[in-house]
A and B are shown apart, each in its own frame.
Chain A
Amino acid sequence: MSHWLIYRTFWDLTVSGIVLGLIYALVALGYTMVYGVLRLINFAHSEIFMVGTFGVLISLTKVFGISLFDDGQYPYRSGFVLVAILVCSIIAAMVVSGAGAIVLERTAYRPLRGAGDAYGAVVLAFLTGLIASFLFSDHIMTNLAIAAVITGPVSFGYVRIFRRGRQAPRLAFLISAIGSSMAMAEAVATWGPEQRSVYTTPRVLEKKVLFNFLGADVRIDYVIVAIGAILMMTSLLLFVNRTRLGRGIRAVAQDAETARILGVNVNSVILVTFLLGGAMAGGAAMMFTLVYDQTRFNIGFLLGVKSFTAAVLGGIGNIKGALLGGIVLGLAENYGSSIFGGQWKDVIAFVVLLTVLMFRPTGILGESLGKARV
Chain B
Amino acid sequence: MKKSNLLRAGAVLVSLSFVGVACGGSDNAASDTTAAMSTEVTCDAPVASIALQFPETGDAANLGAPMLKGAQLAVDQYNAANADACVTLKTFDTQGDPAKAPAVAQAVVSDATILGLVGPGFSGESKAALPLYDEAGLATITGSATNAELQNAGFKVFHRILANDAVQGPAIAKYISETLKPASVGIIDDASDYGKGLADAVKTAAGATVKASDSIDPKAADFSAAVSKMKDANPEVIFYGGYYGEAVKLSTQLRDAGVKSTLVFGDGVKDQAGYADAAGPAAEGALIACPCKDGDATFVAAWTAKYNEVPGTYGAEYYDAANVLLNVIKAGAKDRAAVQTAVNAYDAAGITKQIKFTENGEATEAATIYMYKVEGGKITYVADIK
Q: Which residues does A use to contact B, with CB under 8 Å?
A: 5, 8-9, 12-13, 16-17, 20, 62, 68-69, 72-74, 117-119, 121-123, 126, 138-141, 144, 148, 151-152, 155-156, 159, 189, 191, 193, 195-198, 200, 207, 209, 217, 219, 288, 292-294, 296, 298-299, 301-303, 333-334, 337-338, 341-343, 345-346
Contacts and interface: CB of A to CB of B under 8 A. Distances in A.
B281 A72 contact: yes
B58 to A, nearest CB: 8
Contacts of A298: 59, 219
B40 to A, nearest CB: 14
Contacts, number: 154
Nearest to B11: A122
B296 interface: no
Nearest to A339: B225
Contacts of A139: 31, 35
21 contacts: A5-B232, A9-B229, A9-B232, A12-B228, A72-B376, A118-B6, A122-B12, A126-B13, A141-B21, A151-B10, A159-B6, A191-B31, A195-B62, A196-B58, A217-B258, A219-B256, A293-B252, A302-B219, A337-B225, A342-B217, A345-B220
Interface stretch (B22-30, B41-49, B80-88, B100-108): B22-30
B112 interface: no
B224 A17 contact: yes
Contacts of A123: 13
A339 B225 CA distance: 9
A73 B377 CA distance: 10
A292 B35 contact: no
A126 B11 CA distance: 12
A140 B257 contact: no
A-B pairs with lowest CB-CB distance, top 9: A337-B225, A16-B224, A343-B215, A118-B5, A118-B6, A9-B228, A122-B9, A119-B9, A197-B62
A183 to B, nearest CB: 15
A118 B203 CA distance: 61
A5 B58 CA distance: 38
B21 A217 contact: no
Contacts of B58: 196
Contact of B220 (A74, A119, A144, A302): A302
- The SS class assigned to the B binding surface is helix
Interface of B: 2, 5-6, 8-10, 12-14, 17, 20-21, 23-24, 27-28, 30-31, 35, 57-59, 61-62, 191, 214-217, 219-229, 231-232, 245, 248-249, 252-253, 256-258, 274, 277-281, 284, 376-377
Given A12-B224, A16-B227, A17-B224, 18 more contacts: A9-B228, A9-B231, A12-B232, A16-B224, A68-B280, A69-B280, A72-B377, A73-B281, A119-B9, A121-B6, A144-B20, A155-B6, A156-B6, A337-B214, A338-B228, A342-B226, A343-B191, A346-B217
A302 B257 CA distance: 24
B126 to A, nearest CB: 21
Contact of A337 (B6, B226, B278): B226
A74 B280 contact: yes
Contacts of A302: 217, 219-220
Given A72-B280, A294-B221, A338-B228, A122 B59 contact: no
Contacts of B215: 341-343
Nearest to B31: A140
Given A121-B9, A294-B221, A196 B61 contact: yes
Contacts of A152: 10
B223 A122 contact: no
Contacts of B191: 343
B217 A122 contact: no
Contacts of B249: 292, 294
B246 to A, nearest CB: 9
Contacts of A9: 228-229, 231-232
Contacts of B228: 9, 12-13, 16, 334, 338
A122 B221 contact: no
Nearest to A335: B225
Contacts of B274: 197-198
B229 A338 contact: yes
B223 to A, nearest CB: 7
A144 B10 CA distance: 14
Given A200-B278, A342-B215, A159 B2 contact: yes
A103 B309 CA distance: 37
A118 B280 contact: no
A68 B278 CA distance: 8
Contacts of A337: 214, 225-226
Contacts of B27: 191, 193
B10 A138 contact: no
Contacts of B5: 117-119
B248 A198 contact: yes
Given A20-B224, A126-B13, A343 B257 contact: no
A210 B9 CA distance: 49
A258 to B, nearest CB: 28
Contacts of B223: 342
A140 B30 CA distance: 12
Contact of B10 (A8, A117, A122, A197): A122
Quick one: which of B8, B17, B256 has the most chain A CB within 10 A?
Answer: B256
A224 B281 CA distance: 23
Contacts of A293: 252
Contact of A12 (B10, B12, B13, B231): B231
B6 A144 contact: no
Contacts of B256: 207, 219
A120 B37 CA distance: 36
A121 B248 CA distance: 42
A8 B224 CA distance: 14
A93 to B, nearest CB: 16
A141 to B, nearest CB: 7
A342 B214 contact: yes
Nearest to A16: B224
A141 B12 CA distance: 19
B221 A288 contact: yes
Given A72-B284, A140-B31, A294-B248, A343 B217 contact: yes
Contacts of B59: 196, 298
Contacts of A342: 214-217, 223, 225-226
A5 B232 CA distance: 8
